A and B are shown apart, each in its own frame.
Chain A
Amino acid sequence: MSGELVLSLKHVFSGYTDGGGLLGKKERQEVLQDVTFDVFHGEILGLVGESGTGKSTLARTILGMVRPERGEVVHYTKRPQMVFQDPYSALNPFYSVEWNLEEPLRACGKYDRAERKRLVREMLARVELTEDYLAAKPAELSGGQCQRVSIGAALIQQPKFLIADEPVSALDVTIQAQLLDMLRTLRRELDLSYLFISHDLNVVYQLCDRVLVMKRGRIIEQGTVDEIFHCPKEEYTKQLLAAAE
């Protein structure tokens, strides 16, 4: 870890607005409370906590889908990308794998046709799929293959920072292990940093360098994987660990 920053959050309070419309009354739901942390270059930062603690809201806030109420979100790299839990929902079902991989390149308009085709094939190889899959529709792929394609689509604009929201939770254990391996390799080859959101502590233990523990919108503990897993300080972290055994 070089100590170079990729992202830093400073005292972020965030939430989302419910209701609204012409007559409805808007209700602000506060989710994140005073969240402060840094992501360093090249690391895989795990984010754990029960469902409903605001992990996804945190991801959305980082990505700018939700504007923070207070505090600061500072990006040190260009636009981060996201991988979702349900692999099928992340790809446009109307189009082929090739289209889904190529679309981000088309959208940013910086590449000509030949270059796009080349980058798509290169990315397909990186996510360990053969060119036979180019013409397939997402619905024809298995969950693991589909997740590979959506990781490819997220990485094809060459971001340096990737947010993965439970990317392997919907997959079975052997496929999980393969994908985690692939994520490790991609980090090394493409010089990436991840924020890896998961409720599965075993996966976090295998993959991450550092861990954030979140409870009711607050980061209650953070440290290296060894610190968190072997000598947790907070009672809540101990409970999470005990539940995972």
Chain B
Amino acid sequence: MKRGNGFLTAGLLLTCVLTALILVGFFWTPYDPNAMAVGGKFDGPSLAHWMGTDNFGRDIFSRVLKGTGTTVSIALVTLAIGAVCGCLVGALTGYFGGPADGLLMRLNDALTAFPSILLALVVISILEPGKKANVILALGLVFIPSFARVTRTAFAGLRDVNFIKSARLMGAGSVRILAVHMLPNMLSVLLPALTIGFNNAVLAEASMSFLGIGVTPPDASLGYMLSEAQGMLFAAPWYALGTGLVIVLLVFSVGLLGEGLRRRDKGVL
């Protein structure tokens, strides 16, 4: 980083603050997020209840804190599944080529033709809706094609570069070439893809829970809370506002981080 990179600094700062809040939320919240009548019914935001209370008198800030943790952990595991499997497919097709390349990439094209939410809907209805593990699995599967595409291009681009040819001549094995020689040189495309993927995963989880096929009570997730909030939009507008704002903030800060990384990295690709 030679010049100041405002995107990266701002993104890092915001992400760190959010991460800290989420980590705190795992162990401690101002009130028990599921305890009823810790305040009055539909109390507005106050010093005691920063985001007010809902129809059961639950503290919304505590619920948001807990729910963000749920949403983010689902998004991270989803992302890990998508990225690792996508990378493997990308390596297989981009580096080795051959018939597997043609076959897998056409399959990939076919999957990309469907909106990812729709695909996740199909997968989740085949599995069993309402389970956290199934939500993760469905979203993870849906995220594989985009990562496969991005990494395939990068692996294929590096395959015939001289330092990779040299590595083969030196007798380095394929796994070593892919993981040690190639992967670090792909960070400039991989990191932005990861941040964008994370945001998509957050939004996808929120959408699915909002539609009622994602995380179900008693687990609080941002999407589920948003769908709750919809029913009391006029009685407690702060519920929807607080929850929505956190989603926006989350996506915004990671987006900044991704843009910052993209601007910083000028790798061989």
Spell out A's residues near B (CB within 8 Å): 21-23, 63, 65, 79, 81-82, 84, 86, 89-95, 100, 103-104, 107-108, 150, 153-154, 157
Given contacts A22-B102, A157-B171, 13 further A-B contacts (CB under 8 A): A21-B101, A22-B101, A22-B103, A81-B166, A82-B165, A90-B163, A92-B181, A93-B267, A95-B184, A103-B170, A104-B171, A107-B167, A157-B170
Partner of A107, one of B106, B162, B171: B171
Question: Using Cβ atoms and an 8 Å threshold, which residues of chain B touch A154?
Answer: 166
Interface-central residue, A23, A65, A103, A107, by most chain B CB under 10 Å: A107
CB distance from B77 to the nearest CB of A (A): 28
Interface-central residue, A22, A82, A150, by most chain B CB under 10 Å: A22
B268: CB under 8 A from chain A?
yes
Name the interface residues of B161-196: CB closer than 8 Å to any CB of A: 161-163, 165-173, 176, 181, 184-185, 187
CB distance from A102 to the nearest CB of B (A): 11
Partner of B163, one of A22, A92, A108, A157: A92
Closest to A80 in B: B169
Spell out B's residues near A (CB within 8 Å): 97, 99, 101-103, 106, 161-163, 165-173, 176, 181, 184-185, 187, 267-268
B176/A89 in contact, CB under 8 A:
no
A107/B172 in contact, CB under 8 A:
yes
CB distance from B169 to the nearest CB of A (A): 6
Q: Top 4 closest A-B pairs, CB basis?
A: A22-B102, A107-B172, A104-B170, A89-B162
A94 vs B167: C-alpha distance in the bound complex, in angstroms? 14
Question: Using Cβ atoms and an 8 Å threshold, which residues of chain B touch A86?
Answer: 162
Closest to B176 in A: A107
A50 vs B267: C-alpha distance in the bound complex, in angstroms? 33
Question: Using Cβ atoms and an 8 Å threshold, which residues of chain A touch B171?
Answer: 79, 104, 107-108, 157
Question: Using Cβ atoms and an 8 Å threshold, which residues of chain A touch B173?
Answer: 107
Closest to A86 in B: B162
CB distance from B154 to the nearest CB of A (A): 13
CB distance from A86 to the nearest CB of B (A): 7
A103/B172 in contact, CB under 8 A:
yes
Partner of B185, one of A81, A82, A93, A107: A93
CB distance from B235 to the nearest CB of A (A): 56
A81/B169 in contact, CB under 8 A:
yes
Interface-central residue, A23, A81, A94, A103, by most chain B CB under 10 Å: A94
Question: Using Cβ atoms and an 8 Å threshold, which residues of chain B touch A21?
Answer: 97, 101-102
Question: Using Cβ atoms and an 8 Å threshold, which residues of chain A touch B106?
Answer: 22
Question: Using Cβ atoms and an 8 Å threshold, which residues of chain B touch A91?
Answer: 163
